[in-house]
Amino acid sequence: MGTANELTGSVFSQYNKVEGYFSLRKENERLSKENTRLINLLKEDYSSADTTNKVVTDTIPIDTLGTKRKYLYMQAEVVHNSTNLPNNFITLHRGSNQGVKRDMGVYGPGGIVGVVVDVSSNFSVVMSLLHKQSNTSVKIKKTGESGKLEWDGTDASILTLRDIPKSVKLQKGDTVLTSQYSDKFPPNLMVGTIAQIIQEQSTNNYLLKIKSATDFKSIQTVWIIDNMQREEQKELEEKVKNKK
């Protein structure tokens, strides 16, 4: 009887561990969906055509005042990821059938992740920020000065920020956010913090090393960002460019 009870107890213990694991996974999925709902209520996701319109945070595309939703977030699961190559990509289990298109920005739990570069019916491939061709417009939160965010191909946790003038007063730990000049990301999304300030000898700008807010080695769930007004903006810009 003692042996039988010990065996039974061991079986139930293992069963409870398994049951607890799946319960935790379900809870994480529930929290992720709730985060998606809350992100879609941010005021930065709506854009007014002029200052007379009031910005509101509801879930419909257009309100009675004409305020139109600009950004929509769609949750996606990471199914493949690389961080140790000169040019890294992330594969997401969400594609054209679920509304994903090329050039959509991707945002993670900590900060921005990259940009969608290819799409199939049910999957999409993201050019990670850890890619030598990655180029994102960001700004220093404290001063508003904007520059180009790149990667030098070495450390997966460190990015490079260029074009910040030496006249700008900076400190280690200053926050870096997405700027208003990006058509892929809403402004003021987290990018990282200044880890090192280097004064370039050949220019009047700093070379800043940025500690990425995204832990690329452990990312599992992201949000794909649909700029719902991007095509209108691009069409108008191309029209003006062709007139020159």
CATH number for 149 = 2.40.10.350
User: In this predicted model, which residue has the larger pLDDT, 2 or 135?
Assistant: 135
3-state helix, strand, coil in the chain (%, to 5): 25, 35, 40
Q: Is the residue at 13 inside a domain?
A: no
Q: Where on the phi/psi map is residue 173: left (φ > 0), alpha (ψ -120 to 50), or beta? A: left
- The tens digit of pLDDT for each residue in 158-206 reads 999 999 999 999 999 999 999 999 999 999 999 999 999 999 888 999 9
Read off the pTM: 0.74
Domain around 163? 136-212
| The pLDDT of residue 17 is above 70 | no
pLDDT band at residue 31 under the 50/70/90 scheme? low
Domain count across the chain:
1
Q: Is the residue at 141 inside a domain?
A: yes
Q: Is the residue at 217 inside a domain?
A: no
Instruction: Please tell me the distance from the alpha carbon of residue 188 to that of residue 11, in angstroms, as a whole number.
Output: 51
Q: Is the residue at 66 inside a domain?
A: no
Q: Is the residue at 178 inside a domain?
A: yes
- The tens digit of pLDDT for each residue in 52-77 reads 333 333 445 555 555 678 899 999 99
Positive or negative torsion for Cα 126, 130, 135, 139: positive
Q: Is the residue at 240 inside a domain?
A: no
Q: Is the residue at 177 inside a domain?
A: yes
User: In this predicted model, which residue has the larger pLDDT, 28 or 148?
Assistant: 148
The confidence score (pLDDT) of residue 41 equals 60
* CA-closest candidate to residue 135, choices 116, 154, 152, 148: 148
The confidence score (pLDDT) of residue 75 equals 92
pLDDT band at residue 135 under the 50/70/90 scheme? very high
Buried b / exposed e over 38-70, threshold 16 CB at 10 Å, is ebbeeebbbbeeeeeeeeeeeeeeebeeebbbb
pLDDT band at residue 234 under the 50/70/90 scheme? confident
Q: Is the residue at 6 inside a domain?
A: no
What number of other Cβ atoms are within 10 A of residue 211's Cβ? 17
